[in-house]
Amino acid sequence: MKRFLKFFLGLAVFGIFAYTLVFLYRKSQPEAVVFQTKSPFVSSIIKKTVATGSVIPRREVEIKPKVSGIVSEIYIVEGDMIRKGDMIGKVNIIPDMANLNAAESRVRRAQIGSDEAKWHYERQKKLYDRQVIAVAEFEKADLAYRTAKEELDAAENNLQIIREGAAQRSGQATNTIIQSTITGMVLDVPIREGNSVTESNTFNSGTTIAVVADMGEMIFEGKVDETEVGKIREGMNLILTIGALEGETFDAELEHIAPKGVLENGSVQFRIKAKVALKRGAFIRAGYSANADIVLDRRDSILVVEESLVGFSNDSAFVEVETSPGVFEKRYVETGLSDGIYLEVLSGVTETDKLKWVQ
């Protein structure tokens, strides 16, 4: 029994010793490196730069009153579609007291002059009918009477313009009625009934009654950094992405590049404008923020590889192609356009080749 126990213990110690040797041997062996491979494929590459900005109407007009006063009525609200000549609001004139007093005084003086000229005309007419005075004397009285009546009419019209904004004899709509100057959509009505407004004149831009824009023609207005502006030109295609319209893209054509840059946040920015091609049924609100991808170059249906698979040595590019399982050879390739992720391969590999990829 003791001999059996000794034999069993010896066998166990030997087994543990043998297992330890095998384990240490395996640990000392280098692990086999397994590389993943990827193949070239046919795709398109678009090289682009991004401009940030907003989409605005090409034609946006601020409607201003022709006279100063108090807004008594507003006929429109934001979002209304109006046509050129439609009434927007009405202004009650608050006349200047000095001008009003002078106009009233002028009417009184003109009335006195007209009465006197009329009396003199009637007296001269009676004498002329009796052939007491010559024709020349009568004609002078007639001219003075007609001149006095014209002066009275002018004074009364001037007083009416000061009080009401227009004279009835002019045959035109009163200046107190504010009309739209274009056909479009009302974007904003910054004033309310009871607000004071100032007329637009040489010395004052006037109070804005409403903002009207043609929403059928929109443009993208953005800025491009000075490092990119040399790569773009008028006529280039843009792809607009509007943040408020998720998943929607719009085509646009670059129309204008500012000849002068503006320093912003330490870099020079150049303003650009592009015409937006609107889609049927899609409504773009004025002021939507947008990003424009400006297509600098494009290749369609070309052989491409991931740029991470390509190595560079001096002025040459190369890849490692799998010739047999786990065996790779270095092969030089000719490259073309790159968008930073994918690289065009002109020669050196085919779609069936497997290229080494290190994750």
Residues 6+ apart with CB under 8 A from 262: 223, 268, 269, 270, 271
Closest CA to 229 of 251, 186, 262: 262
Q: How many residues does the chain have?
A: 359
Task: Please give the average per-residue pLDDT across 233-257, as a whole number.
Answer: 89
As a whole number of angstroms, the distance between CA 273 and CA 54 comes to 10
Residue 150 pLDDT exceeds 80: yes
Closest CA to 331 of 310, 307, 346, 352: 310
Q: Is 28 domain-assigned? A: no
The predicted pLDDT at position 3 comes to 63
Task: Please give the average per-residue pLDDT across 215-229, as a whole number.
Answer: 90
The predicted pLDDT at position 359 comes to 46
> What's the mean per-residue pLDDT of the chain?
83
Q: Are both 306 and 294 inside the same structural domain?
A: no
- Residue 261, helix vs strand vs coil: coil
Residue 351 pLDDT exceeds 90: no
Q: Are both 180 and 81 inside the same structural domain?
A: yes
The predicted pLDDT at position 290 comes to 92
Residue 137 pLDDT exceeds 90: no
Closest CA to 287 of 237, 234, 215: 215
Residue 356 pLDDT exceeds 70: yes
Q: Are both 77 and 191 inside the same structural domain?
A: yes
pLDDT, tens digit (0-9, with 9 covering 90-100), for 77-94 = 999 999 998 999 988 877
Higher pLDDT, 152 or 158: 152
As a whole number of angstroms, the distance between CA 108 and CA 283 comes to 60
Q: What is the pTM of this model?
A: 0.61
Q: Is 160 domain-assigned? A: yes
**Torsion-angle region of 267 (φ positive above 0: left; ψ -120 to 50: alpha; else: beta):** beta
Task: Identify the domain boundary among 298, 325, 345.
Answer: 298
Percent of the chain with pLDDT over 90: 21
Q: Are both 233 and 245 inside the same structural domain?
A: yes
**Cα–Cα distance list, 104 to 57, 93, 148, 151, 196 (Å):** 47, 16, 16, 13, 25
The predicted pLDDT at position 61 comes to 92
Q: Are both 68 and 196 inside the same structural domain?
A: yes
Residue 211 pLDDT exceeds 90: yes
**Cα–Cα distance list, 199 to 67, 187, 230, 262 (Å):** 5, 21, 45, 34
CATH code, domain with 149: 1.10.287.470
3-state SS string for 133-177: CCHHHHHHHHHHHHHHHHHHHHHHHHHHHHHHCCCHHHCCCCCCE
Between the two ends of the chain, the Cα-to-Cα distance in Å is 61
The predicted pLDDT at position 27 comes to 63
Q: Is 182 domain-assigned? A: yes
Q: Is 1 domain-assigned? A: no
The predicted pLDDT at position 204 comes to 79
Task: Identify the domain boundary among 183, 213, 243.
Answer: 213
Residue 220 pLDDT exceeds 90: yes
Q: Is 9 domain-assigned? A: no
Q: pLDDT category, 140, cuts 50, 70, 90?
A: confident
CA atoms within 13 A on the CB side of 169: 10
The predicted pLDDT at position 9 comes to 67
CATH code, domain with 77: 2.40.50.100
Task: Identify the domain boundary among 298, 322, 344.
Answer: 298
Percent of the chain with pLDDT over 70: 85
Q: Are both 335 and 200 inside the same structural domain?
A: no
Q: pLDDT category, 74, cuts 50, 70, 90?
A: very high
- Residue 15, helix vs strand vs coil: helix
Residue 50 pLDDT exceeds 90: no
Residue 213 pLDDT exceeds 80: yes
Q: Are both 205 and 335 inside the same structural domain?
A: no
Q: Output Rg (C-alpha) for the chain, integer angstroms.
A: 44
Q: Are both 252 and 347 inside the same structural domain?
A: no
As a whole number of angstroms, the distance between CA 62 and CA 250 comes to 28
The predicted pLDDT at position 101 comes to 79
Q: pLDDT category, 315, cuts 50, 70, 90?
A: confident
- Assess contact for 269 and 224: CB atoms under 8 A: yes
The total number of structural domains in the chain stands at 4
What's the angle, vertex CA 60, arms to CA 207 and CA 261, rounded to 5? 100
Task: Please give the average per-residue pLDDT across 119-137, as a whole number.
Answer: 83
What's the angle, vertex CA 356, arms to CA 31 and CA 331, rounded to 5? 125
Q: Is 16 domain-assigned? A: no
What's the angle, vertex CA 284, arms to CA 279 and CA 287, rounded to 5? 145
Residue 166 pLDDT exceeds 80: no
- Of 25-39, 81-95, 120-134, which one has max mean pLDDT? 81-95
Q: Is 23 domain-assigned? A: no
Domain coverage including residue 339:
36-45+300-357
Amino acid at 93: I
Q: Are both 161 and 304 inside the same structural domain?
A: no
As a whole number of angstroms, the distance between CA 38 and CA 215 comes to 49
CATH code, domain with 329: 2.40.420.20
Please return the burial class of 15, using the count of CB atoms within 10 Å of its CB with bins 0-12, 13-18 and 19+: exposed
pLDDT, tens digit (0-9, with 9 covering 90-100), for 268-309 = 999 999 999 988 888 889 999 999 888 888 888 888 888 888
Q: Are both 232 and 158 inside the same structural domain?
A: no
Q: Are both 247 and 318 inside the same structural domain?
A: no
Q: Are both 249 and 275 inside the same structural domain?
A: yes
Q: Is 17 domain-assigned? A: no
As a whole number of angstroms, the distance between CA 254 and CA 275 comes to 7
As a whole number of angstroms, the distance between CA 151 and CA 66 comes to 26
